[in-house]
Amino acid sequence: MKKKYIVTGGSGFIGSAIVKKLLREGHSVRVFDNNSRGNLRRLQSVIDEIEFVEGDIRDPHQVEEACKDIDAVCHLAFVNGTKFFYELPELVLEVGVKGMINILDACITHNIDDLILASSSEVYQSPDEVPTSESVPLIVPDLLNPRYSYGGGKIISELLAINYGRSKIKRVVIFRPHNVYGPDMGWEHVVPEFVLKMDDLISASRSQPIDFKIQGTGNETRAFIFIDDFVDGLFRVIEQGQHLNVYHIGTSNEIKLYELAHQIASLFDVKIDIVPGDLAQGGTLRRCPDITKLRGLGFDPQTTMEEGLKVTKQWYVENKHLKSITTA
């Protein structure tokens, strides 16, 4: 059945990609974003096919108005980017919590019976079990560390969605992305940071190997998923996800961050020496999702890290000038 979706955070990295997928599948889409980190350039190719509403998710009236005549909500608006968790924890929580309540109220007011919510792998912080399944407990390890504004905000959002949605909304489905990467993914994430730093160092240095400073020892791990595979996973969750269920979206290809740095260096055709640094307080040492549940929906990621990094690196090298003129 063709539906009318609202995608909050729809001019963001993941939002814009799912907007395009929904359009390709024949649905209509209204995008709601304040463009604080989103950017309409990401939606340029479909700009005539969408309705764009510029608005703030913290404003109940704007959210209620934007949710009129909508069949399904994909709620992605949130302040993302690790740097902001430390620097703007109150904003992270305000956008997360008020945004969630406003979306739930709007769903109930307009009898919208389908809500898909973006959560995060950060709800586990440093899980004992890796690969981590959806049933591992969610924690805020230190109330005083501003970093956990983000994970805490996601835990609150999940609780609100589940408990309001249990009886008042026909279907509430939660997905937890794990380290999505790709072109135009924003600037405050490990892949673009490594690419841009490497690009800078190469122009400044005459000999190799080049000293490459990182946060932590480089033995910290992540499992990255390329945006095209991510969109395939998310669309499966949107189509087949069950009421009050949570789904990881990611891959099981866990790699150490020093290996990531070396892979990016080889795309530049240079040799590097890793120089370890301090890990940000509260940084996660190991992260890799168990994706059995998503595989059960037919998910099978296709993009190798080498392929995904190649196009991502190319985008950042070609578009580095955008960094100074964008807030995203």
Ligand X SMILES: NC(=O)c1ccc[n+]([C@@H]2O[C@H](COP(=O)([O-])OP(=O)(O)OC[C@H]3O[C@@H](n4cnc5c(N)ncnc54)[C@H](O)[C@@H]3O)[C@@H](O)[C@H]2O)c1
Residues at the contact surface with ligand X, assessed by CB under 6 A? 9, 11-15, 33-38, 56-58, 76-80, 95, 118, 120-121, 177, 179-180, 186
CB 265 within 8 A of CB 275: no
Looking at the Cβ atoms of 179 and 251, the one nearer to ligand X is: 179
Which residues, in sequence order, are bridge partners of residue 69? none
253's tokens: 């290809």
- Whole-number minimum distance, CB 204 to ligand X, in Å? 29
Looking at the Cβ atoms of 223 and 264, the one nearer to ligand X is: 223
Looking at the Cβ atoms of 272 and 287, the one nearer to ligand X is: 287
CB 174 within 8 A of CB 158: yes
Looking at the Cβ atoms of 56 and 113, the one nearer to ligand X is: 56
- Whole-number minimum distance, CB 202 to ligand X, in Å? 26
CA atoms within 13 A on the CB side of 149: 21
∠ Cα 169 172 174 (to 5°): 160
- Whole-number minimum distance, CB 309 to ligand X, in Å? 15
Query: How far, in Å, CA of 151 to CA of 79, rounded?
Result: 11
- Whole-number minimum distance, CB 224 to ligand X, in Å? 9
What is the distance, to the nearest Å, from the Cα of residue 59 to the centroid of all Cα atoms in its chain? 22
DSSP three-state, residue 233: helix
Looking at the Cβ atoms of 60 and 186, the one nearer to ligand X is: 186
- Whole-number minimum distance, CB 136 to ligand X, in Å? 16
- Whole-number minimum distance, CB 225 to ligand X, in Å? 8
Looking at the Cβ atoms of 227 and 274, the one nearer to ligand X is: 227
CB 89 within 8 A of CB 25: no
The helix (H) or strand (E) run that includes residue 21 is helix 13-24
183: cis peptide before it, omega within 30°? Answer: no
Question: Of all residues in this chain, which one has the CB nearest to ligand X in the complex?
Answer: 12
Cβ count within 10 A of residue 25: 12
Query: How far, in Å, CA of 67 to CA of 109, rounded?
Result: 9
**String of DSSP letters for 35-61:** -SS--GGGGGGGTTTSEEEE--TT-HH
- Whole-number minimum distance, CB 78 to ligand X, in Å? 3
Looking at the Cβ atoms of 235 and 268, the one nearer to ligand X is: 235
∠ Cα 319 323 326 (to 5°): 115
Looking at the Cβ atoms of 38 and 274, the one nearer to ligand X is: 38
- Whole-number minimum distance, CB 263 to ligand X, in Å? 18
Residue in 64, 97, 105 with CA at minimum distance from that of residue 78: 97
The values of phi and psi at residue 23, to 5°, are: -65, -45
